[in-house]
Amino acid sequence: MRRSILAAAAAILVLGAVPGRALAQQPEVALVYRLLQEGQMVINPAAGGERRAQLGDRLRNRDVVATSANTRAALRFTDDGSILRINPGSQVRLTSGDERGAVVRTLQLEFGEVWARVNRRNGSEFRIQTPAGVAAVKGTEFLVRIDSAGGTVVITLEGVVEFFNQAGRTDVGAGQQASAGSPSDAPEARRATREELRRAEEVGGEDAADAGRATWVEVQLQHADGRVRTLMMQVPADALRGRVQGTP
């Protein structure tokens, strides 16, 4: 009888240790530092019940956040200060883990639109996964959107984003965009329009460092053989104003 009681007690201790280990595997990933418009965002923790988000809330590995139809939110990652802006009607799952010695953060965008500014950090990778592909970066500013048909659009404002799926991959440089309607649709980069780039910056709001201080300019370069190449460049507003007014 005593042996049975001891065995049962040991079993309780073992079972009681499991939640502790699970929590240890769920480190803090980010915190909620902006809730705009209606401020209605829901957090669905990996280990717990759904709750309404509050400023300063800490988000852990595998937590899911979802904004209402009239709410924008911003998260700041606790390890390097990278920022994620979430547009209305969006849902994202945050995951963080190790792959071959590198810290990999993967944001699973299930629907909606996000803007990110990723700070460069050795030994870490940042990815946004969508139903149609994956956008992988190491330090940049970009936007990812899932359209009504489930396709994915990636627009890069700064740096380079590698966008890939099972059909292929492409590098999306600053001023470019790429899209894929499904995992079997190979993405291909093309020049983004000035309107697309401006809208992408607007999603970044106050967190877009160049907002209100720079503008996108279309520049056409003509080669000696007559070929024309078009580039999209960000130019500081003050510098552009000086040129227009004739200031050297």
**Per-residue model confidence as pLDDT tens digits over 180-204:** 999 999 999 999 999 999 999 888 8
- Backbone CA torsion sign across 97, 67, 144, 57: negative
Query: Could you tell me if 197 and 224 lie in one domain?
Result: no
Structural domain containing residue 161: 27-208
Report pLDDT digits (tens) over 17-68. Answer: 344 444 344 578 999 999 999 999 999 998 878 999 999 999 999 999 999 9
Query: Could you tell me if 94 and 201 lie in one domain?
Result: yes
> Is residue 182 one of the residues assigned to a domain?
yes
> Is residue 2 one of the residues assigned to a domain?
no
Q: Is the pLDDT of residue 227 over 90?
A: no
> Is residue 192 one of the residues assigned to a domain?
yes
DSSP alpha helix (H) spans, the chain: 2-24, 194-204, 237-244
Round to whole Å and give the CA distance between 240 and 72.
Answer: 31
Query: Could you tell me if 178 and 221 lie in one domain?
Result: no
> Is residue 68 one of the residues assigned to a domain?
yes
How many domains are there within the chain? Answer: 2
With beta carbons less than 8 A apart as the criterion, state whether 166 and 124 touch.
no
Q: Is the pLDDT of residue 106 over 80?
A: yes
User: What is the chain's percent helix, strand, coil content, to nearest 5?
Assistant: 20, 50, 30
The per-residue pLDDT for 230 is 53
Compare 101 and 38 and report the one with higher pLDDT: 38
**Confidence (pTM):** 0.74
Query: Could you tell me if 219 and 109 lie in one domain?
Result: no
Query: Could you tell me if 240 and 185 lie in one domain?
Result: no
